[in-house]
Chains A and B, each alone.
Chain A
Amino acid sequence: MSGHSDYPDRYSSGYPSAIKIVISGGFGVGKTTFIGSISEIEPLTTEAAMTERSIGVDDASLLDSKHTTTVALDFGRITLDPTLILYLFGTPGQDRFDFLWDDLTDGALGAVIVADTRRIEDCYPVLDYFEAHGTPFLVAVNTFDGADVFDLEEVREALGVNPSVPVLYCDARQRESVKEILAALIEQVLLQRQAGSFA
Chain B
Amino acid sequence: MNDDGTRLPDPRMIPITRTKSWFDTSTQVDETEFDEDGGGRHELGNESADHNDEESGEDVFVRPFIVTGGRTRPLHDGLRIETLVVATATALTAQLHFEQRQIVQWCRTPISLAEIAALIGVPLGVARVLVADLYTDNLVQLREPQAVPEHVLERIRDLVRAL
Does A107 interact with chain B (Cβ within 8 Å)? yes
A77 to B51, CA, bound (A): 40
* B145 and A18 contact, CB distance less than 8 A: yes
A193 vs B148: C-alpha distance when bound (angstroms): 11
Q: How extensive is the interface on chain A, given as a class? A: 35 or more
A17 touches B59 (CB 8 A): no
Report how many residues on chain B are interfacial, defined by Cβ distance under 8 Å.
56
- Near A by CB (< 8 A), chain B positions 114-137 give 114-115, 117-119, 123-127, 135
Cβ-based interface call for B146 (8 A): yes
Q: Which of A1-29 contact B (CB under 8 A)?
A: 1-2, 4, 10-11, 15-20
Q: Footprint of A on B, CB under 8 Å?
A: 14, 17-19, 21-22, 25-26, 59, 61-65, 70-73, 78, 80-84, 110, 112, 114-115, 117-119, 123-127, 135, 141-146, 148-150, 152-157, 159-161, 163
30 A–B pairs (Cβ distance < 8 Å), ordered by A: A2-B135, A11-B149, A17-B148, A18-B83, A18-B143, A18-B145, A20-B145, A40-B25, A45-B17, A46-B117, A46-B123, A48-B123, A49-B125, A49-B126, A52-B125, A52-B126, A53-B125, A56-B73, A57-B70, A57-B72, A70-B64, A77-B26, A80-B163, A84-B156, A85-B112, A106-B80, A107-B82, A109-B153, A193-B153, A194-B150
